[in-house]
Amino acid sequence: MTWCNAAWTTIIVRGGDGSLEIEANGPEDHALALQAIEHIGRFKEAVTVIAKQPIPSPASPPEAVSGPTLQEAVTEYLEKVEVKPTSRKSYKTKLTFLVSKLGADTPFASIDQARFSALAEEIAADDSREDKTNGDYITIIGGFINWHRIRKGLPQITAATLKPKRDKPASLDRDAYSLVQLEELFKYAAKFKTTEPHKFWTTLVAAFFGCRIEELAQINLHTDVLQDGETGVWYVKFDEDPDNDGIVRKSKVTWLIRAA
């Protein structure tokens, strides 16, 4: 049945068990329905007022993650991070890989711990690179992400536990040269000593100095190759002092090597 007055209408429904329900549309109608029950008198104990719940509007699509794109974040990092030129070059290689993997337009803020962990697992499983190299990729990418997160007051992600575990010490990554191999190396280099001395020295100097060719290439010929005034002996001064332009380009500890 429908119960009316000049201001509002209330629908009263009798259930199969004899109970009565009054359908009210929202809080205001609910209050009016209670007043109606008072007018019903002896039936008020058997009446339940049900306020209809508003139908929720369709969920709005999630807002796009704000902030820089991945490429913009990489560019900013490489411009501002304080590392040596050789390290910057290595960082650029790893971060270029990251951009190609996730996409330049990927919102940087969307790269959380879960997404980074999945990427790290994929990198660690790549057999085309050595475990140490894969570990470097994970470390550098994780460091890049945390560099930005620290500046935004966000918790850092974890990278250390995601790196592939080494199954042998670093000293065993490559076998040492045998005496026979060293003999062949010196014989080969000897052919160039007078005709092409640069080939001779680049072949053998690493063995004498205990460094890689890449590290040897950091020497500044004008400031690091010197001659002792008293003995006339030429020597190489290799340290971490800045060059004349104020930039530190060498990455080894201070040492002094003399060559006869």
Task: Please write the tens of the pLDDT for every residue from 51-95.
Answer: 555 555 555 444 445 789 999 999 999 999 988 888 889 999 999
pLDDT of residue 23: 65
Q: Which domain holds residue 114?
A: 70-170
Q: Give residue 213's Cα distance to chain centre.
A: 30
Would residue 179 count as lying in a domain?
yes
Would residue 250 count as lying in a domain?
yes
Domain CATH for 120:
1.10.150
The C-alpha atoms of residue 240 and residue 252 are separated, in whole angstroms, by 6
Task: Decide which of 149, 170, 191 is a domain's last residue.
Answer: 170
* Beta bridge partners of residue 49, listed in sequence order: 22
Name the stretches of the chain with pLDDT < 70.
Answer: 1-65, 165-176, 210-211, 249-260
As for how many domains the chain has, the answer is 3
In a shared domain, residues 149 and 181: no
What integer best gives the mean pLDDT of the chain? 76
| Residue 1 CA neighbour count, 13 Å, CB half | 5
Question: How many Cβ atoms are within 10 Å of 86's Cβ, its own excluded?
Answer: 15
In a shared domain, residues 120 and 147: yes
pLDDT of residue 2: 44
Strand runs labelled E in 66-133? none
Would residue 96 count as lying in a domain?
yes
pLDDT of residue 41: 60
pLDDT of residue 108: 94
